[in-house]
């Protein structure tokens, strides 16, 4: 891992790391004076500088590379606490998707549409280059929404299958012989229909 020209860097012990971070005793810890707060800020800046210094010298035991090469250096934003974050393309896509989702949700609520119906309206509007409110008044979209509502109503109204087989003369249709099936077919159908 190490070449002959590179000196090995000795690791820092916890005692070494803590000796420079001795925080002075405060007269009143709940209300530090300006001098005490400045002393703590100076210690914190010193600790950050030491961390940066040791990161530049420390070697990762797995890769054998300096940590400074493994951890990308951040620009010096420590002094500017309120700098705006740089927007990445993925972040912009996520924000745009959330905005579209919220627009669909509020549009659907306003026009009493389900989420699926709102998706249809927005897809039609995008494909035709019109506003969703204009697409909602288009006859094609109206017919599509009516068909979706009718299909959903039919699916919700259809009763589930009965798991009880009709019994005629003490036997189910599956347990009857072919002669009994022919003879009792009408009675089995009537029993299945609930007559």
Report in angstroms the alpha-carbon separations of 75 from 45, 79, 80, 156: 16, 10, 11, 59
Q: Is residue 103 part of a domain?
A: no
Q: How many domains does the chain have?
A: 2
> Is 134 inside a domain boundary?
yes
Res. 83 pLDDT band, cuts 50 70 90: very low
The two tokens of residue 79 are: 């002094």
| Distance from C-alpha of 10 to C-alpha of 27, rounded to nearest angstrom | 38
- In the chain, % helix, strand, coil (3-state, to 5) comes to 55, 5, 40
81 within a domain of the structure (yes/no): no
Q: Tens digits of per-residue pLDDT, 69-79?
A: 776 654 444 44
Quick check: is 139 in a domain? yes
Give kind and range of the element (H or E) at residue 154: helix 139-157
Task: Report if residue 183 sits inside a domain.
Answer: no
Residue 144 lies in a domain: yes
The residues pairing with 66 across neighbouring beta strands, listed in sequence order, are 59
**If you search the block for the tokens 């393309």, which residue do you land on?**
89
Instruction: Tell me if 85 is assigned to some domain.
Output: no
pTM of the model: 0.38
pLDDT of residue 117: 92
Model pLDDT, residue 17: 58
Q: What percentage of the chain exceeds 90 in pLDDT?
A: 24
Q: Which helix (H) or strand (E) holds 172?
A: strand 171-172
Range of the domain at 60: 14-70
Query: Where are the alpha helices (H) located in 58-138, listed in sequence order?
Result: 67-70, 89-110, 115-128, 132-136
pLDDT confidence band for 183 (50 / 70 / 90): confident
pLDDT, tens digit, for every residue of 110-129?
A: 999 999 999 999 999 999 99
Confidence of residue 80 (pLDDT cuts 50, 70, 90): very low
Can you tell me the distance from the alpha carbon of 118 to that of 105, in angstroms, rounded to the nearest whole number?
8
Residue 57 is assigned to a structural domain of this protein: yes
Query: How many Cβ atoms sit within 10 Å of the Cβ of residue 145?
Result: 19
Backbone CA torsion sign across 169, 175, 180, 185: positive
For residue 121, the tally of other CB atoms under 10 A from its CB is: 23
| 8 Å CB contact between 137 and 124 | no
């Amino acid at each position: 891992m190490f070449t002959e020209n590179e000196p090995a860097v000795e690791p820092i012990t916890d005692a070494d790391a803590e000796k420079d971070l001795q925080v002075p005793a405060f007269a009143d810890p709940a209300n530090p004076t300006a001098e005490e707060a400045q002393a703590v800020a100076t210690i914190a800046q010193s600790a950050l500088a030491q961390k940066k210094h040791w990161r530049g010298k420390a070697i990762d035991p797995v890769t054998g590379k300096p940590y400074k090469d493994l951890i990308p250096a951040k620009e010096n934003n420590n002094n500017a606490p309120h700098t705006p974050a740089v927007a990445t393309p993925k972040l912009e896509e996520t924000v745009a998707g959330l905005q579209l989702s919220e627009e669909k949700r509020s549009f659907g609520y306003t026009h009493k549409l389900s989420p699926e119906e709102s998706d249809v309206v927005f897809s039609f509007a995008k494909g035709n280059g019109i506003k969703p409110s204009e697409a909602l008044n288009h006859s094609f979209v109206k017919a599509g929404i009516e068909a979706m509502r009718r299909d959903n109503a039919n699916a919700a109204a259809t009763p589930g299958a009965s798991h009880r087989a009709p019994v005629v003369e003490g036997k189910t249709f599956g347990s009857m012989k072919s002669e009994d099936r022919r003879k009792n077919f009408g009675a089995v159908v009537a029993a299945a229909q609930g007559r």
